[in-house]
Structures are given as C-alpha cells and as structure tokens.
Amino acid sequence: MAPQYKLTYFNARGLAEPVRLLLAHANIELEDVRVDGSGWAQIKSDSPWGKLPLLEEGGFKLSQSLAILKYLASKYGYVGETSQETARMDEYIGAIMDLREVIMSYHWEKDPEKKEEKGVKLEEETFPFYLAKFENILKKTETNPPG
C-alpha cells in the first residue's frame, strides 16, 4: 500500500524532522521527499505559502510546520485530553520555537564577533534558562502524570 502522506522538505532535518518523528512514533508510513535548491524552485508554486515543509494527503496540501504538526497530532491522538492540556502543550511548543529561533540566529550569524557573543549568551543564559524550565515541567509530569 502506498504511503498516506507525502512530506517534502530540503535534505535536512530542520522543520520537517518533528513531523517525521511524530509519524514514525504513530507507525504511519511516509513518502519522505528531499529536495535541493533547484528542485525546490520547480515545486515552490505547489506549496500554499511557497514554503517547506509541505505535507500532502491525497489532494490536501498543508504547509507551515506547526500547522502540519497540530493537524497530525490531532488526527493521531497526540493532543491533551482537555483544552487546558492542549493549550499547555501549545505553550511548550511555543517555547521550543523561541529557543530554536535563538539557536538558528547563532547558527547563521556570519560576523565572527557577533557569533562569539551569541554563543556565550546561548551557553551562559539561554540554555540554562530553557533547560531549567523543561526540567521542572518533566519533574511535575513524573509526580503527576496525565490520565
């Protein structure tokens, strides 16, 4: 049987990797299409927003990584049991995306001095802040698991 989903993204983990991981965890087969710059130029107009990742399910096309994740999470039971649990999960996702933005700013920085400054801030401030927050969340979950 052909895969139910086709996921198109660059040949990298990036924003498509959480989608791949979610589907793998749900044991859902995926056609994982990797494109390079020239391949992307040829299919860019197929994406609703001209962006990747792009998820296709039959004639349904969805882009924007968080929209894809929320769609699949809802479909395969990876959402909270209450609207408050789902909102809390969205809050965590937002925090992860904030952290990702800071990491990517460091990664793509071309100026060596600015990159060094950003690296120090990541190591001394950003990572400790986020890791402490997520550690507290995990501790609470261990002592009070959902369900």
- 63-99 tens-digit pLDDT: 999 999 999 999 999 998 999 999 998 999 999 999 9
Name the class of domain 5-75.
alpha beta
- What average pLDDT does the structure give for the chain? 92
68 versus 146: the higher-pLDDT residue is 68
Instruction: Write the pLDDT tens digit of every residue in 34-64.
Output: 999 888 888 888 899 999 999 999 999 999 9
Nearest-Å Rg of the Cα atoms of the chain is 18
Q: Which amino acid is at 1?
A: M
* Domain-wise residue ranges, the chain: 5-75, 83-143
Q: What predicted TM-score, i.e. pTM, was given to this entire model?
A: 0.78
Q: What residues have CB less than 8 Å from 119, skipping those under 6 apart? A: 106
